[in-house]
Structure 1
Amino acid sequence: MEAYIAEWLHLGLRWLHVITAITWVGSSFYFNRIDRSFRPPVPPVDRVSGQLWSIHGGAIYNYSRYPVGPGYVPEKLKWSKWESLSTWVSGACLLAVVYWWGASINLVSGRPGGLDPVSAVFASITTIIAGWVIYDVLCRSIPSDKVLSVVIALFISVSIWAFTHIFSGKAAYLHAGIVMATIMAGNVWFVILPGQKKMLKAMQDGSIDKFDVGADAKRRNYHNNYLTLPVVFAMIAAHFPITYGNAYGWLGFILISGAGVAIRHFFNTMHAGNAQPRWIGAGAVLALAAMVLLAPRDLLSANGGAQAAAVDVGRVTSIIDMRCAACHAAKPTMEGFEEPPKGVVIDTIERAATHAQQIRQVAISTDVMPPANMTEMTDEERKLLADWIAAGAPTH
């Protein structure tokens, strides 16, 4: 019953998280596009620094940007804030249900000397909070935008490297993503919104012409814009063990995130009227580098010469019984599993043969299965499975 409830909580929270994330990312991309598309109004308009004429859905729209307000506080203002909060809260709840509640399966690394579930949960909470604190201190301490951007990139890179040594590969990616998402939400609620409120107060008391409209808020919004795609990648990467299951998964994360940043920068230059296609090329090069780096170690060196007669099918059957069937059976015996993960049943040699390539990907090319190595599969056993698959996965 507990596992069934957890699965529905997982489904409900993930669906909510997707909805709120789409809303937040869509709003962020939309306003960044508008902001970079403004051009000086012709003829000039008082207090307006830029205008944008746009057509959509059968109508023409005119946007105007007032850096210090139109001379009064509009009666109704549309604030963009709840999208970020709802996305962060739903993501935090999803983290709690999937990775904290299921820490023994999804969070811990399973490596010798690794953290126990309770310690791993504590490390999870601590690193998320520390991520925001460190980032905020860096922003307040480094005046140069270029230097700050480089330092933040290094900070995130070191973080994902450290996470891969603390958590499982999948959880490491997720934590890099939620640290960046926490930075983004923190920027909105602790810097950008307070700055906007101070601006409105200055407009009301007539001191707006002397008011610093918020260079810090602007740079934080700039960071949020470039962090968006790496965060989205971190959220979907859990479905691709070829990335997080690799020994160099941390470097793959950096390369793929860098590709996202490069592509995002291309669109920013395009919206600003100075499109620079070379950034698309840079993104493609980084993505290709990640593809080469993360290539399975057996991709070119698989034991293609293994013969069916040389493989001990009985031993393979024993490995499947001991290491796979506890979870991947019609009725799993492993605690915490009500049904086989993803509906994959591997409780006989014949059924294992039909999933041979999946087994190769998650248990040989990578070691993401069994999760946290719960059933203690050895390297020797993985080698035997590799030989069995190379021989054509014989069943007798």
Structure 2
Amino acid sequence: MEAYIADWLHLGLRWLHVVAAITWVGSSFYFNRIDRSFRPPVPPVDRVSGQLWSIHGGSIYNYSRYPTGPGYVPDNLKWSKWESFGTWVSGALLLAVVYWWGAGVNLVTGGPDGLSPALGILVSIGSMVVAWVVYDVMCRTIPSDHVLSVAVAAFMALLLWIFLQIFSGKAAFLHVGIAMATLMAGNVWFVILPGQKKMLQAIKDGTIDRFDVGASAKRRNYHSNYLTLPIVFAMIASHFPMTYGSAHAWLGFILISAAGVAVRHFFNTMHHGHTQSRWLVVAAVISLGAIVLLAPPNLAAPANGPVAAVETGRVASIIETRCAACHAVKPTLPGFNAPPNGLVLDSLQAAAAHAQKIRQMAVDAPLMPPGNLTGMTEEERALLAAWIAAGAPTK
């Protein structure tokens, strides 16, 4: 019953999180596009620094940018804030259901040298707080925008390295994504929104001409703009063990994130009106480098080998004792209501049909069993590798 309830909570929260993220990311992309597409109005318009004419859905729209307001506070002023709040809160709840509730399986690495589930949860919670505090201090103390951007990137890389030491691979990737999302949401609620409220008050007081309209908010929005695609990658990478299960996962994440930043920069230049297509080439080259780097060392190994050298009886025993506890029609391991991803491995024949998946998850990278709950040994992994190389015989 508990596992069934957890599955529905997981589904509901993931659905909510994806919908909220679509609205937040879509809003961010849209407003960054508009902001970079403004051009000086011709003829000049009082208080307007830029205008954008656009067509969509059979209508023509005219956007005007008022850096210090139109001289009054509009009655129906649309705020963009609940998108970030909904995304972060739903993501935190999803983290709790998937990674804290099942901490022994999904969060920590397991084994005598790993963190206990309880300590892993505390580190998970604390990492979000630490990420925001360190970032906020850097923003307040580093005056150079370029130096600050490099410092933020280095800080995210350091967090990822730390997470990879203490969490499972997919949890590590997810947590650096959560750290980035925390920076973005924190920027909205702790910097940008308060600054906007002060701006509105200055308009009401008639002191707007002497008001700093938000250099700090601008630089933080700049960070959020470039963090968006790395966050999206961090969130979807858990579905692709070839990324987080590699021995080079740390560098692979950095390369793929850098490719995302390059793609984002291409769109920024396009919106500015001076498209720099070379950034797409940079992204493609970096992505290719990541693909080569993350490839398993035995990717080109022959599919077939000497069948006689493989003891299929021992392989069947490994499948039964190490895999079938979770991957059975009715799993026997507590916390599993159904076989993960619908993958049933309750016999040698069933395992043979998914041999390459087993190779990816249990041989190329020791990702399965999760947290090594069933205690698979290195000798057993080597035997699985030999069995798969021999063509996964069943007799």
TM score, norm. by length of structure 2:
0.99
> Which residue does the alignment assign to 1:362?
361
Q: Which amino acid in the other structure matches residue 225 of structure 1?
A: N
Q: Give the C-alpha shift of residue 247 in structure 1.
A: 1.3
Q: Give the C-alpha shift of residue 111 in structure 1.
A: 4.6
- Could you tell me whether the CA contact under 8 Å between 2:48 and 2:67 is conserved in 1? yes
> Which residue does the alignment assign to 2:192?
192
| Residue pairs, 1:268-347, within 5 angstroms | 268-300=268-300, 302=301, 306-347=305-346
Query: Deviations for 1:263-288, whole angstroms, at most 9, x for unmatched residues?
Result: 00000000000111111111111111
User: Does residue 208 of structure 1 match 2:199?
Assistant: no
User: Does residue 5 of structure 1 match 2:16?
Assistant: no
- Could you tell me whether the CA contact under 8 Å between 1:303 and 1:386 is conserved in 2? no
> Which residue does the alignment assign to 1:371?
370
- Secondary structure (helix, strand or coil) at the match of 2:137 reads helix
Identical pairs, percent: 71
- Could you tell me whether the CA contact under 8 Å between 1:227 and 1:261 is conserved in 2? yes
> Which residue does the alignment assign to 2:141?
141
Query: Deviations for 1:329-373, whole angstroms, at most 9, x for unmatched residues?
Result: 111111111111111110111111111111111111111111111
Query: Deviations for 1:75-134, whole angstroms, at most 9, x for unmatched residues?
Result: 110000000000000000000000000000000112541101001001101111100000
| Residue pairs, 1:221-260, within 5 angstroms | 221-260=221-260
* Gap runs ≥5 in structure 1: none
> Which residue does the alignment assign to 1:123?
123
Counterpart-to-counterpart distance in 2, 1:252 and 1:48 = 45
Q: Which amino acid in the other structure matches residue 386 of structure 1?
A: A
TM score, norm. by length of structure 1:
0.99
Counterpart-to-counterpart distance in 1, 2:288 and 2:304 = 30
Counterpart-to-counterpart distance in 1, 2:144 and 2:207 = 28
Q: Which amino acid in the other structure matches residue 95 of structure 1?
A: L
- Could you tell me whether the CA contact under 8 Å between 1:81 and 1:188 is conserved in 2? yes
Counterpart-to-counterpart distance in 1, 2:335 and 2:303 = 37
- Could you tell me whether the CA contact under 8 Å between 1:303 and 1:387 is conserved in 2? no
- Secondary structure (helix, strand or coil) at the match of 1:63 reads strand
Q: Give the C-alpha shift of residue 304 in structure 1.
A: 5.1
Q: Which amino acid in the other structure matches residue 374 of structure 2?
A: T
Query: Deviations for 1:164-199, whole angstroms, at most 9, x for unmatched residues?
Result: 001000000000000000000000000000000000
> Which residue does the alignment assign to 2:154?
154
Counterpart-to-counterpart distance in 2, 1:336 and 1:18 = 25
- Could you tell me whether the CA contact under 8 Å between 1:106 and 1:372 is conserved in 2? yes
- Could you tell me whether the CA contact under 8 Å between 2:41 and 2:48 is conserved in 1? yes
- Secondary structure (helix, strand or coil) at the match of 1:55 reads strand
Counterpart-to-counterpart distance in 2, 1:312 and 1:113 = 32
Counterpart-to-counterpart distance in 1, 2:261 and 2:16 = 26
Task: Number of aligned residue pairs: give it.
Answer: 395
- Secondary structure (helix, strand or coil) at the match of 1:60 reads strand
Query: Deviations for 1:44-102, whole angstroms, at most 9, x for unmatched residues?
Result: 00000000000111010000000000111111100000000000000000000000000
Q: CA RMSD in A?
A: 0.9
Query: Deviations for 1:192-234, whole angstroms, at most 9, x for unmatched residues?
Result: 0000000000000000000000100011111111111111111
> Which residue does the alignment assign to 2:180?
180
> Which residue does the alignment assign to 2:107?
107
- Secondary structure (helix, strand or coil) at the match of 2:79 reads coil
| Residue pairs, 1:47-126, within 5 angstroms | 47-126=47-126
- Secondary structure (helix, strand or coil) at the match of 1:264 reads helix
Counterpart-to-counterpart distance in 1, 2:369 and 2:202 = 59
- Could you tell me whether the CA contact under 8 Å between 2:303 and 2:388 is conserved in 1? no
- Secondary structure (helix, strand or coil) at the match of 2:184 reads helix
> Which residue does the alignment assign to 1:18?
18
Counterpart-to-counterpart distance in 1, 2:219 and 2:102 = 37
Q: Give the C-alpha shift of residue 306 in structure 1.
A: 2.8
Q: Which amino acid in the other structure matches residue 385 of structure 1?
A: L
Deviates more, 1:167-176 or 1:112-121: 112-121
Counterpart-to-counterpart distance in 2, 1:306 and 1:254 = 37
Counterpart-to-counterpart distance in 2, 1:205 and 1:369 = 63
Q: Which amino acid in the other structure matches residue 325 of structure 1?
A: A
- Could you tell me whether the CA contact under 8 Å between 1:105 and 1:374 is conserved in 2? yes
- Secondary structure (helix, strand or coil) at the match of 2:61 reads strand
Q: Which amino acid in the other structure matches residue 70 of structure 1?
A: P
Counterpart-to-counterpart distance in 2, 1:372 and 1:259 = 31
Counterpart-to-counterpart distance in 2, 1:178 and 1:298 = 33
- Secondary structure (helix, strand or coil) at the match of 2:143 reads coil
> Which residue does the alignment assign to 1:43?
43
Counterpart-to-counterpart distance in 1, 2:66 and 2:53 = 15
> Which residue does the alignment assign to 1:165?
165
- Could you tell me whether the CA contact under 8 Å between 2:160 and 2:250 is conserved in 1? yes
- Secondary structure (helix, strand or coil) at the match of 2:40 reads coil
Counterpart-to-counterpart distance in 1, 2:2 and 2:122 = 22
Q: Which amino acid in the other structure matches residue 335 of structure 2?
A: G
- Could you tell me whether the CA contact under 8 Å between 2:246 and 2:365 is conserved in 1? yes
- Could you tell me whether the CA contact under 8 Å between 2:304 and 2:391 is conserved in 1? no
After TM superposition, where is structure 1 displaced by more than 6 Å over at least 4 residues in a row? none
